Amino acid sequence: MREFVLRALKARSDPHFDITDLPSAGRMDVVCRCISNALFISNDVRRDTIFHVVFDGPSNPPKTVSFYGDSVKDLYFDELSIAKTLRKALSKKLEKDKIIESAPGVFVQKLGFEPLVSLKIKTHQLIYLHEKGADIRSVLLKKDLLFVFGDYIGMPKKTEVFLDNLGALRVSISPIMLFASHTITIVHNELDRRSF
């Protein structure tokens, strides 16, 4: 399985944003492009992929919305369609330790970045996508992978210490700084090449 965790530090954690102005909602457009690139290929969905977004922006952080490639349905892959799906998920009333399915294959819960990653660490190889990491083309990758990465702001120093303590492997995908959404495409491409 390929799992990704995007930490969106400014993206709104409530549904009060204008669908026609996603950049103003803490760069919700970046979040939507990441989801689209993670889940969709030409004429198909990546069924081996799970994509989590941790929303740390106002007004009710943190929340985690998770997309399961093997069960999403009727999800279209342009930014506006994905934003509508996110708005629906972020409008759900949440209780501690409860997960709500807001649309087929789309789940929302009151969960922050560190607890989410801690849940996965026993079963997944943890990879922190970072510009100064080892080149992905030369890294040994296991079967079950958890890629974590920041949005346009990057990760807070405290989170980097947390990831280091968990033994996260820092991996880079490019000699220049790219968008988070590009990063996902390149990670998938490397894994696709190794799968065939």
In the region spanning residues 73 to 102, those forming contacts with its own copies, defined by CB under 8 A, are 76-81
CB 84 within 8 Å of CB 75: no
**Nearer to its own copies (CB atom), residue 80 or residue 121:** 80
- Binding to its own copies (CB under 8 A) within 137-156 occurs at 152
Using the rule CB under 8 A, is 179 a contact of its own copies? yes
Report, in Å, the least distance between residue 43 CB and its own copies.
7
Rounded Cα–Cα distance for residues 188 and 147 (Å) = 11
Q: Residue 33 interacts with its own copies (CB under 8 A)?
A: yes
> What are residue 134's DSSP bridge partners?
171
DSSP element (H, E) containing 63:
strand 63-68
Which of 67, 61, 56 has its CA nearest to residue 4? 67
| Helix/strand/coil for 167 | coil
C-alpha pair distances (Å), 108 with each of 5, 11, 23, 39, 174? 14, 15, 22, 17, 32
Chosen residue from 9, 29, 105, 155 binding its own copies by CB under 8 A: 29
174 binds its own copies, rule: CB under 8 A:
yes
Report which of 109, 12, 111 is spatially closest to residue 59, judged by C-alpha positions: 12
| Binding track, positions 43-72, relative to its own copies; x by CB under 8 A | x-----------------------------
186 binds its own copies (CB under 8 A): yes
Q: Which residues bind its own copies (CB under 8 A)?
A: 19-23, 29, 33, 36-37, 40-43, 76-81, 152, 173-179, 182, 185-186, 188-189, 192-193, 195-196
